[in-house]
Amino acid sequence: MNKPSVRPACPDFSSGPCAKRPGWTPGALKDATVGRSHRSKPGKSKLKEVIDRTRKVLGIPEAYMIGIVPASDTGAVEMALWSLLGPRGVDMLTWESFGEGWVSDVQKQLKLSDVRVLKAPYGELPDLSKTDPARDVVFTWNGTTSGVKVPNGDWISDARQGLTICDATSAVFAMDLPWRKLDVVTWSWQKVMGGEGAHGMLVLSPRAVERLQSHVPAWPMPKIFRLTQGGKLIEGIFKGETINTPSMLCVEDAIDGLKWGEEIGGLHALIVASGAAPR
């Protein structure tokens, strides 16, 4: 592979925070509810605004639940793995470091007995046709460290019995995801939208909610992973009532990014702006 001869106009990217939106200044945070509890009426209103604007920009179906959770994308993925896996066998897809990490957690921490690992080297994808719709599947949509993404959601069966759990942190807002093919989707504010770190997003389909309410994990659940209480979904998480204390400065920055996305034309314009659109 030849070294590219053209540099991007803004090369500020890493596996952590990405570049801020064009024209961003600290003045974008002037309306942040600093000094107020995140459980106050203004605080919860700001958190709910992030959820509502996220649904609008991404076109997430109304029946899907959207929550703000602790510990960035990693926290959101771990919540899904610890809360949902167990009732069925699981296919783990990996072709870069983050996917490899989820494999390690499922095998070494959860110690599930029925795990198939479909692995490919950096720069390649595993054979997606080998996934079994009767099993759960865990995969990254776009590998943050490899830049290799699944081409589409056509390989996911509409008649699947298992859940699709997708780490989409380097794909959401840069690619048009087929939401009805996905049961769990996670990401963090600091990736494509250039927000600040430490906060994760968790989207659940009705099928994922049903699993949560019918399945009791065989292991102890840390408080920050708990999505149910007494067999019922903790719905407040998906209305802006976060499990732990979020940074309201980060919340305001997330709102600013979403407003900018709306102003430039929504998801398609964001895909073009990210450089991920087909050429």
* Least confidently predicted of 8-22, 80-94, 126-140, 236-250: 8-22
Query: For the chain, first and last CA: distance in Å?
Result: 20
Number of domains in the chain: 1
Distances (CA, A) of 180 to 87, 208, 215, 273: 21, 12, 22, 25
Which of residues 150 and 276 earns the better pLDDT score? 150
Confidence band of 18 (pLDDT split at 50, 70, 90): confident
pLDDT in tens, 193-236: 999 989 999 999 999 999 999 999 999 999 999 999 999 999 99
User: What radius of gyration, in Å, describes the C-alpha atoms of the chain?
Assistant: 18
Q: Do the domain assignments include residue 225?
A: yes
What integer is the mean pLDDT of 149-170?
Answer: 97
β partners of residue 90 = 115, 136
Whether 4 is in a domain gets the answer no
Q: Is pLDDT above 70 for 13?
A: no
Residue 52 forms part of a structural domain: yes
In a domain, 151, yes or no: yes
Pairwise CA distance, residues 39 & 211, whole Å: 28
Residue 25 lies in a domain: no
- What are the b/e assignments for 58-83, b being 16+ CB within 10 Å? bebeeebbbbbbbbbbbbbbbbbbbb
Q: What is the mean pLDDT of residues 156-172?
A: 97
CATH number for the domain harbouring residue 203 = 3.40.640.10
**Residue 279 has what pLDDT?**
32
The DSSP output letter for 73 is H
The per-residue pLDDT for range 113-137, each reduced to its tens digit, is 999 999 999 999 999 999 999 999 9
* Contact between 137 and 80 (Cβ < 8 Å): no
What distance in Å separates the CA atoms of residue 115 and residue 135, rounded to the nearest whole number? 10
DSSP E strands: which ranges in the chain? Answer: 65-70, 90-94, 115-119, 136-140, 164-167, 184-188, 199-204, 228-229, 232-233
| Sign of the dihedral through C-alpha 181, 135, 202, 200 | negative
Residue type for position 194 = G
Range of the domain at 90: 44-274
For residue 227, is it within any domain?
A: yes
Q: How many CB atoms lie within 10 A of CB 90?
A: 25
Question: Is 44's pLDDT higher than 90?
Answer: yes
pTM: 0.94
Within a domain: 266: yes
Q: Does the residue 19 lie in any domain?
A: no
Closest CA to 188 of 77, 271, 72: 72
